[in-house]
Structures are given as C-alpha cells and as structure tokens.
Amino acid sequence: MPGKSPHPVELRRRAVRMVAEVRPDYPTEWATINEVATKLGIGTAETLRT
C-alpha cells in the first residue's frame, strides 16, 4: 500500500487539470508533464506522472 502523498489533494487535482489543458501545446505527454511539474514546483516529472 502506498504511503500518503506529501502534496495536498488540490495541488494534485490542479496538476492533472493543467496537464490535460496544455497537452496540445507540447510534442509529447512527457514534455507536458515535465513542464507542469516545473511550474508547480513538484520536484520531478516522475512524481507528477505517478
């Protein structure tokens, strides 16, 4: 069972919405996730991806 996320629920929801909204602006989903993670200060893109 995974541990509790250090990120608040609202931040996680916002990140998911942002990825969906700006996805057409980037060549790949990974590039989108990387940019959103950076903008929100989420450490790494892998953290956001999971």
> In sequence order, what DSSP letters do the residues of 1-50 get, joined into one string?
-----SS-HHHHHHHHHHHHHHGGGSSSHHHHHHHHHHHHT-S-HHHHH-
User: At what angle are helices 9-22 and 29-40 packed, to 10 degrees?
Assistant: 140
The tens place of each residue's pLDDT in the chain, 50 residues long, gives: 466 777 889 999 999 999 999 999 999 999 999 999 999 999 899 999 98
Domains and CATH numbers, the chain: 9-49 (1.10.10.10)
